[in-house]
Amino acid sequence: MHGTSGSLTSLRQRNREQVLATLRERGTASRAEIAKRTGLSTSTVSTLIGELINELVIVELDDRPATSSGGRPARMLAFNPSAGGAIGIHLGHDRVQVGVTDLAGRLVAQDVTDIDVDHEPAKTLALAAHRALELLERSGVRKDGIVGLGVAVAAPVFAATNALGSGPVLADWRSIDVADELARRTGFHVEIGNDANLGAIAEHRFGVAQYVDDFIYLMLSDGVGAGLVLNGRLYEGALGGAGEIGHVTVVPDGYVCRCGNRGCLETVAGASGLAAAFAITRGPGTTLADILRADSAGDGGTRRVLADAGAAVARALVPVCTVLDPALVVIGGECSASATLVSAVRDNLAASITPLRGSAVPVRASGLGDEAEMLGAIALASQRMVLGSAALAR
């Protein structure tokens, strides 16, 4: 009898997880939509929904417009914004970005601080923890309702252990357990992932890749990386390093990259590489923000540099797209604000992709911009809410 009871409890928990996961993915849904997507019976869904409403985890929305026949459509369900929230941290190479969302996924507070993340691990983690707790207090989101804290890092992450890759990138972080350190400083459960991968998750959940099951997300900021979503699932590779397109050689005799190789895409299309192109004419203090402003103002030299960078990005993408056959390429990160660069990627990729495909790969700029990685970290943290949602009702 004990075994049977345990099996029934486990089944009920799995059903509950399916309901919450569906609602988390879609944002809002009716009971009928949840039943259809999960394959559960309508009676099972109704029972679980009733429990979750009583626990204040989800709410019914009563803004249904009348139909043409005079009736009303099914009542929609959504997460209860006031029940809790999640925290996301993006540890870029040169800044820390922190955001807090309510349980409905609405960003209610955020902060960006410039710091040498690559070479200041202790200082960076202390700052990140302090900013997270400070923002949480300012946001008004209940601390006891926080489902978790997600962290996006600019390095490969071993999924099984959450350990960072042991390569030359972020060498000063090799002996540091990022998740454990931030959990100790904040008191929250911490999940960690590669930043480009989490950017892809954010685009799939909130951005231009919603309902696209096969796409490449390319992050172009201070670092360059890619997240691969195949058949609706994030693909991380055997060792967690899938998508490290920033370290593909595009200029064989080019600049030495931080990874130790020469002529990597990051040295051409990353923030430092773009700034270096203007070191002689505009001085060594040129920033990516300066470059993007000059691009918007129509400066010819700036647009030439960004177009060249876009062409280099396309060269790196051609073999990836030929092998994976994606439905979409999303350009994210700070450089997604440059129409010049995005157009250059689109045009050069279309000109070089194999004719066997039959059509060009669509290329779109992210609507999430440089917030994508932080939002992906929040999405990673919020996945835990399907495992213990009753705790949110305290």
Q: What is the pLDDT of residues 189-229, one digit of tens each?
A: 999 999 999 999 999 988 999 889 999 999 999 889 999 99
pLDDT band at 64 (very low <50, low <70, confident <90, very high): low
Identify which of 143, 86, 107, 90 has the alpha carbon closest to the alpha carbon of residue 379: 86
Task: Name the H helices within the chain.
Answer: 2-26, 31-38, 42-54, 121-139, 178-186, 195-206, 265-269, 271-276, 279-282, 288-296, 300-324, 339-352, 372-382
Residue 355, pLDDT above cutoff 60: yes
Cβ atoms of 357 and 325 within 8 Å: the answer is: yes
Q: What is the pLDDT of residues 295-328, one digit of tens each?
A: 999 999 999 999 999 999 999 999 999 999 999 9
88-103: average pLDDT: 93
In CATH terms, the superfamily for domain 82-198+373-393 is ATPase, nucleotide binding domain (3.30.420.40)
Looking up tokens 């040498």 gives 116
Residues 6+ apart with CB under 8 A from 319: none
Residues 6+ apart with CB under 8 A from 387: 17
What's the topology of domain 209-367? Nucleotidyltransferase; domain 5 (3.30.420)
Q: Is 3.90.1150.10 the CATH classification of the domain at 2-79?
A: no
pLDDT at 385: 58
Q: CATH 1.10.10.10 spans which residues of the chain?
A: 2-79
Residues 6+ apart with CB under 8 A from 160: none
Task: Specify the pTM.
Answer: 0.83
pLDDT at 166: 61
Q: How far apart are CA 365 and CA 121, in angstroms?
A: 32
Q: CATH 3.30.420.40 spans which residues of the chain?
A: 82-198+373-393, 209-367
Q: What percent of the chain has pLDDT over 70?
A: 90
